[in-house]
Amino acid sequence: MIDRYDDMIAFRLFGIPVNWTIASTWIVMALLVFVSVLATRGLKTGMKVSRWQTGTEVVVGLLRSQIKEMAGDDPMKYLPLVGTFFLFIAACVLLSVIPWFKIPTASLSTTGAFAAVVLAGIPFYGIRNAGVRGYLKKYTEPSLILMPINVISDVTSTVAMAIRLFGNMLSGVLIGSILLMLVPFVLPLPMQLLGLFTGFIQSYIFAVLAVVFMSSVAPAADEGGFVETPSAEKELREGDVPSFRKDLKTKGE
């Protein structure tokens, strides 16, 4: 059952077999693009905005606040990648209620790819925040002799993220399928609701852990211990205006 998604062929594209993991990933991507186009169409900076824009502002605002709280840094650095992780996994959770749909996050190939991206993001954001020297210093603390252990720790942590997400998503699919066969249309409903709840929790946990790992090397601080970031200075100047609408206003000007 674990390997079936990767082995099952959904269709052939120019003679090349496409398995269900890739096919369902494309479906989720297309759905996210479609919803993004609807949500960002006709954005306004005034008080009267559409429901789509209101929902978008709520989601972006929550993601920004959580990233800023976890990273202690400019949230816009991590928002595109972490937000994509969260929305993709959340979309898979919602689509899991469709019996025939094989969600890509129930395949170890998908969660492993997510972990590989996070693992690549650790040195990318580390070097971006503190430079090459500051990033490499992370692995020599508290002692140079512990450098191999620190390197292995980053790898094993991201692998654990992939396995945790894979296990939780696959278990939800399996439990729902078994109950659907045993007691159709009655017992699966509460289990599906529970699966949706736990699935959203898993998407949140994965996004939070991704932020924690990728922001493990913070920007260099000054002598007073303060980190200078353009976003913090900008927020202090402009006050508490919603940042999403501030960006729209800036682009309009």
> What is the per-residue DSSP string for the chain?
-TTHHHHSEEEEETTEEEEHHHHHHHHHHHHHHHHHHHHTTT--SSS---HHHHHHHHHHHHHHHHHHHHHSS-GGGTHHHHHHHHHHHHHHHHHTTSTT---GGGSHHHHHHHHHHHHHHHHHHHHHHHHHHHHHHHHTSS-GGGHHHHHHHHHHHHHHHHHHHHHHHHHHHHHHHHHHHHSTTTTHHHHHHHHHHHHHHHHHHHHHHHHHHHTSSPPPP-TTSPPP-HHHHHHHHH-S--HHHHHHHHHH-
pLDDT tier, 185 (very low <50, low <70, confident <90, very high otherwise): low
- Residue 132 counted as domain residue: yes
Per-residue pLDDT band at 225 (split at 50, 70, 90):
very low
Percent of the chain with pLDDT over 90: 6
- The CA distance from 197 to 58, in Å, is 19
Whether 109 maps to a domain, the answer reads: yes
Using pLDDT thresholds of 50, 70 and 90, give the confidence band for residue 28.
Answer: very high
Residues β-bridged to residue 18: 11
The whole-chain average pLDDT of the chain stands at 76
172 pLDDT tier (thresholds 50, 70, 90): low
- In the chain, the number of structural domains is 1
Domain of residue 190 covers 50-217+229-248
- pLDDT tens for each residue of 32-76: 999 988 888 877 777 777 788 888 888 888 989 988 888 888 888
User: Has residue 238 been placed in a domain?
Assistant: yes
In a domain, 18, yes or no: no
Provide the token pair at 33: 């693009």
Q: Does a structural domain hold residue 35?
A: no
Is residue 201 domain-resident? yes
Q: What is the pTM of this model?
A: 0.75
Joined tokens for residue 88:
């993709």
Distances (CA, A) of 220 to 24, 88, 156, 229: 42, 32, 26, 10
- Whether 14 maps to a domain, the answer reads no
Q: Which of 58-67, 81-90, 113-122, 169-178 has the lowest mean pLDDT?
A: 169-178
Q: What is the rounded average pLDDT of the residues 127-142?
A: 83
Average pLDDT over residues 177-186: 60
- Kindly state whether residue 39 falls inside one of the protein's structural domains: no
